């Protein structure tokens, strides 16, 4: 029954999406003609932000734009409790089914507003209002500035992306891999293609498996938590907040913590799970060290910790990402190495304090609201920094492909550009 229900739901959404696309096609063309006679504003007046609330991105972005006197209309696909879980236990099976049907239909009510009024639509994750991202085409036709901000597994094809990591950043392979790799590959390729074809696409090398052209660097705004750096407490506090234990390698963190305790180090450790973001932030303000995840660059949790003037252990492969060097300490995929890096912070108070101060300064320079808004207007004016595909990206993906069909598809449909970075 579940499979039949999902098929019925998808069929209804597809039919509804094609109906909306056909309905708004001519109006979008008319709007393009009308806007061609209007001068482009120095900054957008109306912006739509949606629809996947991952790591508070919609909330933070909407707040930052509103402070610039930009009218923001936002939509969220779910409650989006960062580090928590939406409470659906009290809902009946029928209510959940109704929500699955009604939510996509309710989101579509934003489509006329975007086409008729918005200067810009900014989508978080790979999402859009219609199936197959058909509304991307309408926005392009209507002259709406479209930005798509990828955030991870929306476009990261894990079994292929890990081959890139093995070549350029050994020890960062993250898995787990999908049960149907061909289906996963086609889905991720399509999402990347549609975003690059119709939008300004913000991403990172950590996830852009099928990058074809120049992508803007992933960027987000992180609310200020402190007016300046702070000193460590008498007893250092370490926190780790895994949204997914396997991906965040919580096993390594727990092993390192246990080893440090056996060595006699005095510290507090807090594993933060299934609690909303505001509670995590309050813990960060009392913490000294944040252990995020092994990666090539820090995620939201790491930057939250930096804004709270914590020493951050997370992703930091600036050569791979093409980003400026940061004071963040690389999270190694090795319990002994992770132990050694945490031990250095615990054993040398002066060193810990210097890293805490440097991480706060890094947040202020790169991820504060002021820094984000500066980059936001560069994006609006097509002046933001971009990066090209890796030189051997296609060859590496071909070698890592699972099966003949994957290899054939990559060989004949994936063509990364050879542009230079600017």
Both tokens of residue 304? 């939250």
Q: What is the pLDDT of residue 87?
A: 45
Every domain of the chain with CATH number 3.40.50.2000 lies at 237-367
Both tokens of residue 375? 């980059």
239: nearest Cα among 268, 277, 274, 282: 268
Residue with the bigger pLDDT between 126 and 259: it is 259
Q: What is the pLDDT of residue 399?
A: 96
Both tokens of residue 349? 């108070």
Both tokens of residue 237? 């506090």
Residue 86 has pLDDT above 50, yes or no: no
Q: What is the pLDDT of residue 422?
A: 38
- For residue 184, the number of C-alpha atoms closer than 13 Å in the C-beta half-sphere is 17
DSSP letter string over 360-377?
A: HHHHHHHTSHHHHHHHHH
Pairing of strands 268-271, 237-240: parallel
CATH of domain 40-222+387-413: 3.40.50
Second-level CATH architecture of 237-367: 3-Layer(aba) Sandwich (3.40)
Q: What is the pLDDT of residue 12?
A: 87
Helix, strand, coil percent values for the chain (each to nearest 5): 50, 10, 40
Q: What is the pLDDT of residue 274?
A: 86
Q: What are the residue ranges of helices labelled H in 67-107?
A: 93-107
Q: What is the pLDDT of residue 88?
A: 44
Q: pTM for the complete prediction?
A: 0.91
Residue partners of 50: CB distance under 8 A and separation at least 6: 58, 74, 75, 76, 77, 107, 110, 123, 124, 127, 129
Rounded to an integer, the average pLDDT of 80-98 is: 53
Q: What is the mean pLDDT of the chain?
A: 91
Residues written for the chain: 422
Return the residue matching tokens 């600017």: 422
CA-to-CA separations, 376 to 16, 44, 251, 302, in angstroms, rounded = 33, 11, 37, 21
Rounded to an integer, the average pLDDT of 181-202 is: 97
Q: What is the pLDDT of residue 5?
A: 66
Residue partners of 333: CB distance under 8 A and separation at least 6: 171, 172, 173, 249, 252, 294
Residue with the bigger pLDDT between 303 and 177: it is 303
CB 239 within 8 A of CB 250: no
**Tens digit of pLDDT for each residue in 239-276?**
999 988 888 999 999 999 999 999 999 999 999 998 88
**Tens digit of pLDDT for each residue in 347-361?**
999 999 999 999 999
Binning pLDDT at 50, 70 and 90, where does residue 172 land?
Answer: confident
Both tokens of residue 37? 């006679």
With the CA atoms of 351, 356, 361 and 367 taken in that order, what torsion angle do they form, in degrees rounded to the nearest 10?
140
Q: What is the pLDDT of residue 1?
A: 62
Q: What is the pLDDT of residue 55?
A: 86
């Amino acid at each position: 029954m579940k499979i039949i229900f999902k098929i019925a739901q998808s069929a209804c959404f597809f039919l509804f999406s094609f109906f909306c696309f056909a309905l708004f096609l001519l109006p979008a063309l008319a709007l393009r003609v009308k806007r061609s006679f209007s001068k482009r504003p120095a900054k957008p007046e109306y912006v739509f932000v949606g629809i996947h609330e991952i790591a508070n991105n919609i909330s933070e972005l909407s707040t930052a734009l509103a402070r610039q006197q930009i009218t923001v209309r936002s939509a969220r696909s779910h409650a989006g409790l960062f580090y928590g879980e939406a409470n659906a236990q009290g809902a009946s099976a029928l209510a959940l089914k109704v929500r699955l049907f009604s939510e996509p239909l309710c989101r579509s009510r934003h489509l006329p507003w975007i086409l008729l009024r918005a200067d810009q639509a900014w989508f978080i994750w790979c999402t859009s209002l219609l199936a197959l991202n058909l509304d991307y085409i309408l926005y392009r036709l209507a002259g709406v500035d479209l930005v798509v901000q990828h955030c991870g597994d929306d476009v990261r094809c894990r079994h292929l992306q890990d081959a890139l990591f093995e070549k350029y950043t050994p020890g960062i392979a993250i898995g787990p891999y999908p049960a149907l790799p061909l289906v996963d590959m086609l889905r991720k390729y399509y999402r990347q293609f549609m975003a690059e074809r119709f939008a300004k696409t913000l991403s990172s090398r950590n996830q852009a498996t099928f990058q074809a052209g120049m992508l803007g660097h992933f960027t987000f705004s992180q609310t200020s938590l402190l007016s300046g750096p702070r000193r460590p407490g008498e007893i250092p506090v370490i926190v780790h907040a895994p949204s997914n234990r396997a991906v965040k390698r919580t096993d390594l963190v727990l092993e390192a913590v246990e080893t440090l305790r056996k060595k006699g180090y005095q510290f507090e450790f807090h594993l933060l799970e299934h609690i909303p973001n505001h509670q995590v932030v309050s813990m960060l303000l009392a913490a000294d060290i944040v252990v995020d995840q092994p990666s090539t660059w820090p995620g939201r949790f790491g930057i939250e910790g930096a804004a709270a003037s914590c020493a951050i252990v997370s992703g930091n492969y600036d050569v791979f990402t093409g980003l400026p060097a940061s004071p963040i300490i690389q999270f190694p995929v090795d319990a002994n190495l992770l132990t050694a890096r945490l031990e250095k912070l615990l054993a040398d108070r002066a060193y810990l304090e210097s890293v805490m101060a440097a991480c706060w300064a890094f947040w202020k320079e790169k991820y504060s609201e002021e820094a984000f808004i500066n980059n936001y207007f560069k994006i609006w004016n097509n002046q933001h920094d971009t990066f090209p595909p890796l030189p051997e990206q296609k060859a590496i993906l071909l070698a890592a492909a699972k099966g003949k069909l994957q290899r054939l598809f990559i060989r004949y449909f994936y063509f990364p550009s050879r542009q230079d970075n600017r």
